[in-house]
Amino acid sequence: MDVILEGILKAAQLLASLDSEVLGIAWLSLKVSGLATLFSLVIGISAGTLVALTSFPGKKILVSVVNTGMGLPPVVVGLFVSIMLWRNGPLGYLELLYTPTAIVIAQTVIATPIVMGITIGAMQNLPANLRLQILALGATRKQMVMMLVREARLPLMAGVMAGFGGVISEVGASIMVGGNVRGYTRVLTTATVMETGRGNFDIAIALSVILLLFCFAVNYILTYIQQRERPR
């Protein structure tokens, strides 16, 4: 029990004193995962909408692949991205391995299927005739797609939450492609793993509290928007 209590006290001290290293790690986590979520939204919503609104042979297989991808193990992604970015790998010339950019790439790969899968589901849940009604109102194809995305905005926000929640708490890929380099690629999760391994529970707890706060804040904001948007 002492370990935990002491740890919590120390963590509170670290947080209260705004320890610059801890803040740096937190800021990098937010930046990296935020960017990855943003990219995955752009790719996932576009691709998901495209898949949901068109029919082509193999659509069912593709949707199943995407749904499987929603539970893609981060270590597998980490391995795959590492191979791609390895010095002798296909993208080795970019020299991105063990950089924050590499983490963004890996996390985008993790979050995109989540956002895409939720987008496909959300678009397919809209009434089948809604597309016809929108076109009958005189909409162009582009206007129709925008209006459909707007109609699906509440479930799409769930996609944002799931995507961000997935990548900010992910550790396997970040450690593999980022390398947990101090002051450069060290994010909340990789730092927590390392400090726990070293027995520095106080720092680990402080980092975890920040991580939890991030997750809570993002979800709170999105829930707030959803509740406000919900019909009175």
Partner 1 sequence: MTQQQNVLDLKGLRVDRGGVPVLDIPSFSLSENEFVSLIGPNGAGKSTLLLSLLGLIKRSSGTVSYRGRQIANSADWLKVRRSIAMVLQEPLLFDATVFDNVASGLKIRGMGRGEIKSRVTSYLERFRLADMAQRSARKLSGGEARRVSLARAFAVEPEVILFDEPFANLDPPTRQALTEDMDGIIRDRGIAAILVTHDQSEALRMSQRIVVMNGGRIVQEGTPAAVMNHPVNEFVANFVGMETILEGEVVDNRDQRMTVRVAGSEIDTVGEAQLGAFVYCCIRPENVTVSLGHSEEKSSARNHFAGRVVGIATMGPFLELRLDCGFPLTAYVTRESFAELALFEGKEIFASFKATSVHVIGRRAA
Q: Which residues bind partner 1 (CB under 8 A)?
A: 127, 129-130, 132-133, 135-140, 143, 147, 150-151, 153-154, 231-232
Evaluate whether 78 touches 110 at the Cβ level (below 8 Å). no
Nearer to partner 1, 30 or 156 (CB): 156
- Shortest reach from residue 46's CB to partner 1, in Å: 21
Nearer to partner 1, 59 or 198 (CB): 59
Nearer to partner 1, 127 or 197 (CB): 127
Rounded-to-integer distance, Cα 159 and Cα 113, Å:
10
Nearer to partner 1, 148 or 218 (CB): 148
Nearer to partner 1, 68 or 140 (CB): 140
- Shortest reach from residue 229's CB to partner 1, in Å: 8
Residues with Cβ within 8 Å of residue 36, at least 6 apart in sequence? 103, 104, 106, 107, 108, 110, 111, 167
- Shortest reach from residue 118's CB to partner 1, in Å: 17
- Shortest reach from residue 156's CB to partner 1, in Å: 12
Nearer to partner 1, 154 or 213 (CB): 154
- Shortest reach from residue 154's CB to partner 1, in Å: 8
- Shortest reach from residue 142's CB to partner 1, in Å: 11
Nearer to partner 1, 120 or 148 (CB): 148
Q: What is the torsion angle, in degrees rounded to the nearest 10, for the CA atoms of residue 147, residue 151, residue 155 and residue 159?
A: 10
- Shortest reach from residue 162's CB to partner 1, in Å: 21
Rounded-to-integer distance, Cα 162 and Cα 99, Å:
25
Structure tokens at 19: 């320890």
